[in-house]
Structure 1
Amino acid sequence: MQIKLVSLEDGITSCGFRKMAAYVARINEDTESCYVSTNRYRSVLNGIKGTLGEAGMMHDEEIDEIAQGLAGSDIVGYSSMTGYAALTHKIIARLREISPDTYQIWGGIHPIIQPEDAITADVDAICVGEGEFAFSEFLENFRDGRDVTATKNFWFNRGDEVVRNHFLALMTRDEMETLPFPQYGEGEKIYRATEGFVDMKVGDYVANDGLGYTTLWSIGCPFHCAYCGNTKFIANDPKYKRIRHPSARYIIDEVKSARARFPHLSQVSFHDDSFMAIPYRELEEFAELWKAELGIPFAVYGVIPNYVKRNKFEVLTWAGMNRVRMGIQSGSQDILDFYKRPTPPAKILAAGEVIASFSPKYHIPPAYDIIVDNPVETRQDVVDTLELLYEMDRPYTLFIYSLKVIPNTELEKAMRERGIDIEEISANYFAIPPRVGNLLLYVLALVRPPRWLWKRLLKRVEASTTPQKEYPRLGMVLRTLYLMRRAADHLRVMDFSVIPGWTGYVFWRLGLVGLWQKRFTPRPERPVKEPAVAVAVTPPALPDAATG
């Protein structure tokens, strides 16, 4: 049976899709993974112009060419986020026209977040939960010609009826341990305009990820932030708030497997939602294995201020952690409350103090996420965010995002209740309007101005909804300087994980990257091993003499 799986997103990172593709390839030999990379994620030019995220659009000729490349398959499965939903709809419709017997399934984030939209596509089914075990059950019944419409984690179009099934239990740690490693360099295809789907080569990986490998160790998040798609996952199953992950041995072996195929991989980025929420003992085991068997730098994304603990940072930095990314989102307590994010400014500042103590000696400056252009924000809310960042311990850089409202989240409900036009503010979260308040974020990522000058600059800040002058040329200059500063921070330690292209690859081939990591990258001493917590065990009572 021929199955083709299609990932539609900026770039080819696709961590979740790669996991699913590996699983499907295990249970069905004739499986092909196809990538439609709508816009290279780390394009330097797009970063300078502020046009990252303006993807998900293709000409009709390209849509037809993609559909032609999928035609004739028994099953085609799609994976996309909401930003690429319109494109996915179009490809599905065109494939239905030219290959009506192909069974089409839409999975990934969008059908989970907004199943009501996904099921309106000309698909046979959508996957609304974890896909691996659900698809295995579906495929077994599909092959045998049995009814598939009772498969859990799926919705089905059956004539004029939509069959909505319940959810499977979330995967356990032991079940996660049985999954194959994500598919990486194992015969994937990539779409090129006028050429169709062609073999993916080393150059495609280098163009997208430089010398970096991106993965996830854990799934789940203990928070319930109003703007986050995780709220939908938690609504589907409250147990999603628990952190689940396979063993440290599993994730170490996964990285070793990827490096066996691509020896140039010299850094790893963990995009877990809450890596630092993993208990210390498990992080310590991970650190010891990483140090002994890999010894390359790694970054941790998705750091939550509440879980920043010095002992965790010490053991992970000893193992090779060289940068982190933490979500701040806002410096205004009112907006943090609006987002239902229990990270008060004092806790953010305390976390920043711990993080900054490792940089620049051991870490590349940390990156902090900030959300701007929230129509609910007052001028004071914007000022509060700028003041918090002004007070943060340095050095740091910023990842700045314009607010995008994800469908079916609590934020969408709150915005609609306030009569806010969601479509108007949700076009592109990378496009940052060059207003004074936003431009000052770039300034802070570069330098801390003198207080007297800072006070004068703050007087020009307005809420995003207030009509105000924009400075596009100044914005481009500041964004260019900001990106140059970020690149310099990485180049200083020969880290090419966020710098795409062949430059890093050439440095690796010359042996300079490995030499720098071994000879010129300082690492702290192994922290003192924390004693195990003794657990008192009460011995069983002896049998009573009268009854024993």
Structure 2
Amino acid sequence: MDILLIHPPTVLDAEQSKKSIMSSIMIGYGMLSIGAFLEKQGYKVEIFNIPYAYSLGFTEDNIFNLFKSYSPKLIGIELNWLQFSKGAIECAKKLKEIFPNTPIVMGGVNATIFAREILEYYNKFIDAIFIGESELTFLDYINNIENNGDLTKIRGILRKDENNRTRDQGPARIFKNIDEIPPYKLNIVKPRLIPPYDIGMINTCRGPCIHNCFYCIGNRNTYSTSLKSSRTNLDIHSPEWIVSQIQILLRDVKKLSIQDYIYCKPKKVLQIAKAMQKEGLDDKIEYFNFAALPGSLNKEILTALSKAGIDNIDFGVESGSQNILKIIKRPYTIPNVIDSIKSSIESGILPKTYWLVGLPFETESDIEKTKELIIKTIKLGALPKWVTPLCLFPGLELFENAKKYGIKLRLKKFQDFFTFSTTQRNIDSWYPSVITHETENFTINDILKKSLELKKFISTNSNLILTHQMNNLENYFKFHPKFDENKLIQRIKMVLSLLKYTFF
């Protein structure tokens, strides 16, 4: 093996990791793309999913004893999301003990956001932080190792020089034509995924969202600054590339998901849906999830997606208050939400809704408006899947200008966010340690109470939800005749049963 890529646990202790309040098993497709690209260059690459191995019964000792049999030239650790902060650092430290002469690098969204802090505190066992898109950075770095080259010439890294000074070596080299990045194969990941985690994530695009939602790190104003990317536009893979990625994934899984900014380019979505229909891929798919902004896709596009095999769609509605949506720069209206739900149902797609609490200037009245919209969407046939407190971190407009929005920040530094790694599930779903802020009107406890209040409100309307879901079954079967009614109802009941216990 030449390159070992690590998807870390939330914390290194296996039993504690299994109790994390946030999902830890899914790998970011950035690492999967890096692995696929490096394999294409002739390198032997393995991506090891530690939390998934834990779920299968592996212990920390099992895994790291296995690593001792490896001889990697380079080790990369993924740090994409907040819940992996502490686990990623612990993995780096333990791997450096095993491989003292092997460079260990870290990358991903949160590694990029907190790059300077991470390097300042943990440079004894982390040799560099890879900033932003990293396929070409990895290639340059491994070539440098093999040829004893000059590290100063590698773009896209933050490192300490021989005088312990931090060196920022500029934005990474990126692909102008993203179709040059090969589709990934799941067999690069160890251990092999089995149900219920056998789902293939499809990355359809790269670059900033065209909108400017104030709580999103990928919006058009923060993407280049917070994520330090030289990609200024949203670049979309060709329909042919996406179809190829789907075909490759279907060799190993029957469940797929697209969770990126493709909805920003509706015409492209339609082209992709028609390309999928042409290949007849829907016959091989058991579950296909898609994410979109309310109002972004019309009925023609939704119908095309449904015919292509997509059977459920996630809408981040966030709030039932038009005023709050305006404050956080959500680019749609309440009528857009209603129209999107109706069009999805009519197109044979189950719409799932997502809601936030702890938004700037949010009041009791706004929470009541959210309840009203939840009920309206339920009666149309929507399934409310998630209610979660808003999370704020560096780079976001609401973080950087918190006072302007009546926000008092609680978590500011990298190590503050270790609480997302260490906080464990409890029966009451009460997690004050991971509330990142207070608002002008809501304290930490208020935000938690309002989150639980909305969850309870949804749970008390479970029968209403099921009734309207049953009313729409005929339309689902019209577009997806292979659907099993019992499995579909079981899936809906599972969402409702898990709602109380999910945090984010």
> How much has 1:222 moved relative to structure 2?
0.9
- For the residues of structure 2 that align with 1:98 and 1:112, how far apart are their CA atoms? 25
Name the structure 1 match of 2:501: none
- For the residues of structure 2 that align with 1:376 and 1:18, how far apart are their CA atoms? 39
> How much has 1:182 moved relative to structure 2?
1.2
Instruction: Give the partner amino acid of 1:367.
Output: K
Moved more, 26-35 or 426-435: 426-435
Name the structure 2 match of 1:99: 99
- For the residues of structure 1 that align with 2:373 and 2:274, how far apart are their CA atoms? 32
Q: Tell me if structure 1 keeps the 8 A contact 2:263–2:296.
A: yes
Q: Which runs of 5+ in 2 are unaligned?
A: 10-23, 430-440, 474-479, 488-504
Name the structure 1 match of 2:115: 115
Determine what percentage of the aligned residue pairs are the same residue. Answer: 17
Q: Tell me if structure 2 keeps the 8 A contact 1:152–1:167.
A: yes
- For the residues of structure 1 that align with 2:444 and 2:111, how far apart are their CA atoms? 36
Mapped pair 1:145 → 2:145: no
Going from structure 1 to structure 2, the CA distance change for 1:62 and 1:476 (only over 3 Å counts) comes to farther
- For the residues of structure 2 that align with 1:401 and 1:520, how far apart are their CA atoms? 29
Going from structure 1 to structure 2, the CA distance change for 1:419 and 1:311 (only over 3 Å counts) comes to closer
> How much has 1:22 moved relative to structure 2?
1.4
Instruction: Give the partner amino acid of 1:21.
Output: G
- For the residues of structure 2 that align with 1:304 and 1:407, how far apart are their CA atoms? 24
Name the structure 1 match of 2:210: 222
Alpha-carbon deviations, 1:137-188, whole Å to 9, x = none?
Answer: 2222221101123311111122411110211454323xx22222213024x3
Instruction: Give the partner amino acid of 2:380.
Output: R
Q: Tell me if structure 2 keeps the 8 A contact 1:8–1:79.
A: yes
Which of 29, 38, 41 lines up with 1:24 in the alignment? 38
Instruction: Give the partner amino acid of 1:182.
Output: Y
Which of 277, 283, 308 lines up with 2:264 in the alignment? 277
> How much has 1:325 moved relative to structure 2?
0.7
Name the structure 1 match of 2:476: none
- For the residues of structure 1 that align with 2:159 and 2:444, how far apart are their CA atoms? 46
Which of 194, 219, 225 lines up with 1:205 in the alignment? 194
Mapped pair 1:161 → 2:165: yes
Q: Tell me if structure 2 keeps the 8 A contact 1:225–1:339.
A: yes
RMSD: 4.2
Going from structure 1 to structure 2, the CA distance change for 1:171 and 1:390 (only over 3 Å counts) comes to same
Going from structure 1 to structure 2, the CA distance change for 1:169 and 1:480 (only over 3 Å counts) comes to farther
Computing the radius of gyration over CA atoms, which structure comes out larger, 1 or 2? 1
Name the structure 1 match of 2:136: 133
> How much has 1:324 moved relative to structure 2?
0.8
Name the structure 2 match of 1:516: 482
Mapped pair 1:372 → 2:357: yes
Going from structure 1 to structure 2, the CA distance change for 1:149 and 1:306 (only over 3 Å counts) comes to farther
Q: Tell me if structure 2 keeps the 8 A contact 1:11–1:38.
A: yes
Going from structure 1 to structure 2, the CA distance change for 1:130 and 1:400 (only over 3 Å counts) comes to same
Going from structure 1 to structure 2, the CA distance change for 1:226 and 1:170 (only over 3 Å counts) comes to farther
- For the residues of structure 2 that align with 1:482 and 1:169, how far apart are their CA atoms? 50
Q: Tell me if structure 1 keeps the 8 A contact 2:212–2:330.
A: yes
Going from structure 1 to structure 2, the CA distance change for 1:519 and 1:131 (only over 3 Å counts) comes to same
> How much has 1:419 moved relative to structure 2?
5.8
- For the residues of structure 2 that align with 1:289 and 1:12, how far apart are their CA atoms? 25
TM-score normalised over the length of structure 2: 0.73
- For the residues of structure 2 that align with 1:479 and 1:39, how far apart are their CA atoms? 33
Which of 374, 390, 398 lines up with 1:389 in the alignment? 374
> How much has 1:62 moved relative to structure 2?
3.0
Going from structure 1 to structure 2, the CA distance change for 1:110 and 1:3 (only over 3 Å counts) comes to same
Alpha-carbon deviations, 1:82-110, whole Å to 9, x = none?
Answer: 32111111221233334321101101121
- For the residues of structure 1 that align with 2:39 and 2:303, how far apart are their CA atoms? 39
> How much has 1:113 moved relative to structure 2?
2.3
TM-score normalised over the length of structure 1: 0.67
Going from structure 1 to structure 2, the CA distance change for 1:98 and 1:8 (only over 3 Å counts) comes to closer
Instruction: Give the partner amino acid of 2:171.
Output: F
Moved over 4 A (4+): 38-41, 236-241, 416-419, 424-435, 466-486, 517-521
SS of corresponding position for 1:253 = helix
Mapped pair 1:407 → 2:394: yes
SS of corresponding position for 1:337 = helix
- For the residues of structure 1 that align with 2:460 and 2:300, how far apart are their CA atoms? 36
Name the structure 1 match of 2:435: none
Q: Tell me if structure 1 keeps the 8 A contact 2:239–2:271.
A: no
Q: Tell me if structure 2 keeps the 8 A contact 1:19–1:183.
A: no
Name the structure 2 match of 1:179: 181
Q: Tell me if structure 2 keeps the 8 A contact 1:375–1:465.
A: no
SS of corresponding position for 1:400 = strand
- For the residues of structure 1 that align with 2:297 and 2:424, how far apart are their CA atoms? 27
Q: Tell me if structure 2 keeps the 8 A contact 1:401–1:430.
A: no
1:325-344 paired onto structure 2 within 5 Å: 325-344=314-333
Q: Tell me if structure 2 keeps the 8 A contact 1:434–1:475.
A: no
Which of 236, 241, 263 lines up with 1:245 in the alignment? 236
- For the residues of structure 1 that align with 2:424 and 2:288, how far apart are their CA atoms? 22
- For the residues of structure 1 that align with 2:118 and 2:104, how far apart are their CA atoms? 12
Going from structure 1 to structure 2, the CA distance change for 1:482 and 1:28 (only over 3 Å counts) comes to farther
1:448-487 paired onto structure 2 within 5 Å: 464-465=442-443
Alpha-carbon deviations, 1:176-234, whole Å to 9, x = none?
Answer: 22222213024x32xxxxxxxxxx23xx332313xx43222223311222212214423
Name the structure 1 match of 2:223: 233
Instruction: Give the partner amino acid of 1:33.
Output: I
SS of corresponding position for 1:90 = helix
SS of corresponding position for 1:29 = coil
1:248-263 paired onto structure 2 within 5 Å: 248-260=239-251, 262=252
Going from structure 1 to structure 2, the CA distance change for 1:281 and 1:31 (only over 3 Å counts) comes to closer
Moved more, 129-138 or 465-474: 465-474
Q: Which runs of 5+ in 1 are unaligned?
A: 44-58, 190-199, 436-462, 494-513, 522-548
